[in-house]
Chains A and B, each alone.
Chain A
Amino acid sequence: MFASIVTISLAAILTNNFIFSQFLGICPFLGVSNKMSTATGMSVAVIFVMTMASAICWVINEFLLIPFGVAGFMQTVAYILVIAVLVQFVEMFLKKAIPALYSAMGIFLPLITTNCAVLGVVLLNTQNNYNFLESVIDGFTGGVGFTVAIVLFASVRERLQFADYPKAFEGFAICLVTAALFALAFMGFSGMKIPV
């Protein structure tokens, strides 16, 4: 049990990092990584939603979709609805309960619905037959992996504005080239695992 949890965490954060090796969540990754403060705000929101979505979708799949025999074709629809509702709910809750946190991460919340890392993690959880605990751990550490990637990248991107690159590479193009170098570096983690 412990070994599987460590393996999942290691994979989600380093070896199978959602951004640099699975290409999930690239849009928000490029969209909000231009400033360190927005990057951290987005990360907190993503960790939260990914963990919650993993937990709720597991319960829905296990106790609603599978017993009714509709798991094969209603999974995607059900999961995306759960995520959309969850995001909406979190937004409303934060607005009322913790206004300070809401003003810090409020604007990122609606964006998370279309973050493919969130739907990706719940679909992969189901595909890999993870149990409840494994799903939650995968969701949480997946979010941590997203944070690691986006924070590292934001710190590089802040310096990128002083770099002297060809004008045609302005905007996302130079970011993608930079991300390519990150992906290459993250390749170095591949194969790292806990001997069982």
Chain B
Amino acid sequence: MNAKKQLTEGLITNNPVLVQQIGLCATMAISTTLFNGIGMGLSVLIILTCCNVVISAIRKIIPEQVRLAIFVVVIAGFVTIVDLLLQAFIPALSSALGVFIPLIVVNCIIIGRAEAFSSKESVFLSFRDGVFQGLGYTCVLVIMCLVRELLGSGTIGGGLLNGANSFITLDGTGAGFRIIPEGFGAGALVLPFGGFLTLGILMAVMQYALRKSNEKKARKEKEVKE
């Protein structure tokens, strides 16, 4: 299994959110500003990578009967570590994401990768899988945030970027760059409604693209045969 294949799987063909369709809750809930999206994406990436490595390292001694319980304990441990570190060093992110940080424990992406991948594969492959799947998750979150924030409140990079003084702020106060004048955004997009709608459309776009590329591949194979 080469790195390039794993990367395309994580980002596109086996993307956790758009193709495996797991970990949807947080994706919709927190994707209202870029700050939240990148923060959540990176948190999941770090937790997923750590869990993958640890579970893969101890995969030989995990008894079959209690494997889910062990996965859950390891995951909960890493989630709590990240939670405490965020509270200490990026408190604004911790209060913006709120209960969705501890809820990473039950994010199906992590337990799903543990069950499907890292409990069977070597440490190195699991590490790579964690990074690439995490990247795939982060990409979807960032796209969701960009769409919802731009159309909903008319800005780009809310909470993270600051047009006025320092370029990047980590205290969540950055107002972002205003693209659409205040009051003209479609406010409904930052509401729960917008979360469902944006993800639904994103999924449809992905299915359309994947089908097109599969058809193209099939056609090419047919031509080669003929």
How many chain B residues touch the partner (CB < 8 A)?
A: 43
Residue pair B29, A22 in contact (C-beta under 8 Å): yes
When chains A and B are docked, how far (Å) is the Cα of A113 from the Cα of B107? Answer: 11
Residue pair A23, B28 in contact (C-beta under 8 Å): yes
When chains A and B are docked, how far (Å) is the Cα of A175 from the Cα of B73? Answer: 33
Within 8 A of B (CB), among A138-196: 166-177, 179-181, 183-184, 186-187
How many chain A residues touch the partner (CB < 8 A)?
A: 48
Q: Please, what's the 1-or-0 string for B12-24, where 1 marks a CB less than 8 Å from any CB in chain A?
A: 0000000001111
- Is B218 at the interface (CB under 8 A from chain A)? no
Residue pair B191, A23 in contact (C-beta under 8 Å): no
Query: Residue of B at shortest CB range from A116?
Result: B106
Residue pair A80, B197 in contact (C-beta under 8 Å): no
Chain A interface, >50% SS class: helix
In the complex, chain A residues whose CB is within 8 Å of the CB of B193 = 180-181, 183-184, 187
When chains A and B are docked, how far (Å) is the Cα of A21 from the Cα of B194? Answer: 11
Residue pair B106, A171 in contact (C-beta under 8 Å): no
CB distance from B186 to the nearest CB of A (A): 12
Q: Which of B3-11, B177-185, B200-208 contacts A (4 or more CB under 8 A)?
A: B200-208
In the complex, chain B residues whose CB is within 8 Å of the CB of A173 = 200-201, 203-204, 207
Within 8 A of A (CB), among B119-153: none
Q: Which of B73, B108, B201, B208 meets A177, CB within 8 Å?
A: B201
Residue pair B111, A26 in contact (C-beta under 8 Å): no
When chains A and B are docked, how far (Å) is the Cα of A183 from the Cα of B28? Answer: 12
- Is A66 at the interface (CB under 8 A from chain B)? no
CB distance from A188 to the nearest CB of B (A): 11
When chains A and B are docked, how far (Å) is the Cα of A173 from the Cα of B203? Answer: 6
In the complex, chain A residues whose CB is within 8 Å of the CB of B24 = 26-27, 30
- Contact residues of B with A, CB < 8 Å? 21-26, 28-29, 68-69, 72-73, 76-77, 79-80, 83-84, 99, 102-103, 105-108, 111, 188, 191-197, 199-201, 203-205, 207-208, 211
In the assembled complex, 30 residue pairs joining A and B whose CB atoms fall closer than 8 Å, in A order, are A21-B192, A23-B25, A23-B195, A26-B24, A26-B25, A73-B84, A75-B80, A76-B83, A80-B76, A81-B69, A81-B76, A113-B72, A113-B106, A116-B103, A116-B106, A118-B106, A123-B103, A166-B204, A167-B211, A168-B205, A171-B207, A176-B196, A176-B199, A177-B201, A183-B195, A184-B188, A184-B191, A184-B193, A186-B192, A187-B191
